[in-house]
Structure 1
Amino acid sequence: MEVQLEQNEKKGKAFIDKDGKTLAEMTFSMAGTKQLIIDHTEVSDELRGMGAGRQLLQKIVDMAREESLKIIPLCPYAKSVFDKDDSIQDVLRQ
């Protein structure tokens, strides 16, 4: 599964496409210049149970690290992963 990232000044998403159809996506909005809010995650039944949501989150975490951003996980899925995984706490806004 290849996770792609698409972003403009205010909004963005990490997503997985197959044959022109989006099978999974995690959306975010910029909150100022140094923070982003993850607000939604959706994974199709075709990818459910294959770690697609975690891969989407990792793509956004990697981008946040590269750009020195902090993440506010309002999406219940993203928040649950941050609560369980100490390895990504460095980008979590405290």
Structure 2
Amino acid sequence: MSEFDIAREVEGSRGRYVIRQGGHEAELTYSISSPTMVIADHTGVPDALRGTGAGLALVERLVADARAEGFRIVPLCPFVNAQRRRHPDWADAFNV
């Protein structure tokens, strides 16, 4: 995993993972479709955090939580989907 401190925030059927660093926020947002299905819909990394691995760290955390909590990820977000394709060992966490 990464060296980032990643917070998980959930409000109703929406959630996000966020990295706060140097006054900047990188986030991965998702919708909770059901107790066993989460739709990853957006990943945003500000220019100040680009190239640091922040985006990948957010997806790694989502995959780890999916495995630990028994839900599957629908990778609607292009970045999450690209990372899924780069990591075939994550196939068990995705619903595609």
Rounded Cα–Cα distance in structure 1 between residues aligned with 2:12 and 2:35: 9
Give the match for residue 18 of structure 1: 21
For structure 1, the residue ranges without an aligned partner over 5 or more in a row are none
Per-residue Cα deviation, 1:73-93 (whole angstroms, up to 9, x for no partner):
000000001011112111111
Shift of 1:22: 4.3
Q: C-alpha root-mean-square deviation of aligned residues, in Å?
A: 1.3
Equivalent residue in structure 1 for 2:47, among 45, 58, 82: 45
Percent identity (aligned): 32
Of residues 8, 11, 22, the one that matches 2:11 is 8
Gapped regions of structure 2 (runs ≥ 5): none
Paired residue total: 93
Give the CA deviation at 1:8: 3.3
TM-score by length of 1: 0.90
Query: Structure 2 length normalisation: TM-score?
Result: 0.88
Amino acid at match of 1:85: H
Task: Show the counterpart of 1:33.
Answer: 35
Distance 2:35 2:12 in 1: 9
